[in-house]
Amino acid sequence: MAFAVLHCYADYKWTGPSEPVAALCRELCRLGWRAELACARGRDNHERTLPAQARALGVAVHDEFQFDSRSNLIGNARDVKRLSHLVEAGEFRIVHVHGTWDHMLAAFALGRRPRPAPIIRSDHRGSMRRGSRLERLEFGPRMTDHLIVLADCLRVRAVDKIGLAPETVTTVRGAVDAQGFGPVEPPPGIRQRFGLSNQDVVIGVVSRVQRHRRFEVLLEAARHIRLADPRVKIAVLGRGTNKQMILDEPLNRLGLQETVYPLGYHVEGYREVLAMFDAGLMLVPGSDGSCRAALQMAAMGKPLVVADRGVLPDIVRDGETGLVVRDTPANLADAILEMAQSPQRRRQWGGAARERMLQHFTPERQAQVVAALYQKMLDT
């Protein structure tokens, strides 16, 4: 019988952070593991929920949980009891948690060491940990037997700041469907649809428009770019509650309407929009610390300009697949202009970027590393 692993995710929404969890379960099943998913039940019958999408991938789902992080003592107590019973009845040898709340409830359900099954925690946010008391509790041995992080720099940080033993932290990179996001020609006329021309050099930003995503730095860099090379256009693909205040109003006030183009949010035709970019740009990882949008653009053969922040320097090799900068407005403007003004280098870097995705950032590679960790923990 295949060894069973229970994955826990305290939500029902089909989002950037939840999709990779379901995809990992699918790949582990393909490797012969019995990877099942415990999550919250969708509050409607919409098919784009985590339980529905995971089942469509062939993953066994247990969605009888509330996973309610509010002060819901009865619901939380029931979830703890359900988890404890599920682990025992399903003969799960490992419990793999993916967020703070499902982690906490799983820790209560399994008790302190020795636990009936070790707890592995994946840190999907890609945060540079500071070693706070809360972090030491959440990722320390009382709640976590092993921690998975997204890059080696985060592994070093977890060991240094939280005080974890090096052998209890493993790097598992994010993953991208490099076949589904392969290089393609943009559809005819798509640039004109957004007010761009085929002669423009389009640098694409895929990001929610939020205060912490450093749009003020981007707009200041755009002022330099507009004067240096009017052909360079920055296209922002994303939405946000405060988009008008953070992006629309400032670019109008600064007179950058012919340099920065807000494209809005696109689900349908998303890959076609990415295809029209000459290169990509990312300054701050979002709630999905693996930066899937950056991975997708790289898989499409787009070189990227990224900030020296989070996992971004691991996705982009400076001078090999793109440029990594400390993102002051001047540095950022110089990097974007360097990228824009060398088409041959863009093609070279873009090809190398795709090759890096195919070698190190595939779902198959990700599942193999996780499976090796599972086997190591079961053997000890």
Residue holding tokens 């093609």? 347
**What are 224-280's pLDDT values in tens digits?**
999 999 999 999 999 998 999 999 999 999 999 999 999 998 878 999 999 999 999
Domains annotated for the chain, with CATH where assigned, are 4-175+362-379 (3.40.50.2000), 190-360 (3.40.50.2000)
pLDDT band at 380 (very low <50, low <70, confident <90, very high): confident
pLDDT at 1 > cutoff 70 = no
Compute the average pLDDT of residues 104-109: 96
Q: What pLDDT does 361 receive?
A: 97
**What are 287-302's pLDDT values in tens digits?**
889 999 999 999 999 9
pLDDT at 60 > cutoff 90 = yes
Type of residue numbered 89: A
Which of 285, 287, 282, 248 minimizes the C-alpha distance to 264? 248
CA 243 – CA 265 distance, rounded (Å): 11
Q: What is the 3-state secondary structure (H, E, C) of the chain?
A: CCCEEEEEECCCECCCCHHHHHHHHHHHHHCCCEEEEEEECCCCCCCCEHHHHHHHCCCEEEEEECCCCCCCHHHHHHHHHHHHHHHHHCCEEEEEECCHHHHHHHHHHHCCCCCCCCEEEECCCCCCCCCCHHHHHHHCCCCCCEEEECCHHHHHHHHHHHCCCHHHEEECCCCCCCCCCCCCCCCCCHHHHCCCCCCCEEEEEECCCCHHHCHHHHHHHHHHHHHHCCCEEEEEECCCCCHHHHHHHHHHHCCCCCCEEEEECCCCCHHHHHHCCCEEEECCCCCCCCCHHHHHHHHCCCCEEEECCCCHHHHCCECCCEEEECCCHHHHHHHHHHHHCCHHHHHHHHHHHHHHHHHHCCHHHHHHHHHHHHHHHHHC
Q: What pLDDT does 71 receive?
A: 67
Percent of the chain with pLDDT over 70: 98
Q: What pLDDT does 44 receive?
A: 64
Compute the average pLDDT of residues 184-205: 97
Type of residue numbered 333: A
Compute the average pLDDT of residues 64-86: 90
Compute the average pLDDT of residues 83-110: 96
Could you tell me the two tokens for 307? Answer: 């900030």
Q: Taken in order 277, 280, 281, 285, is the CA torsion positive or negative?
A: positive
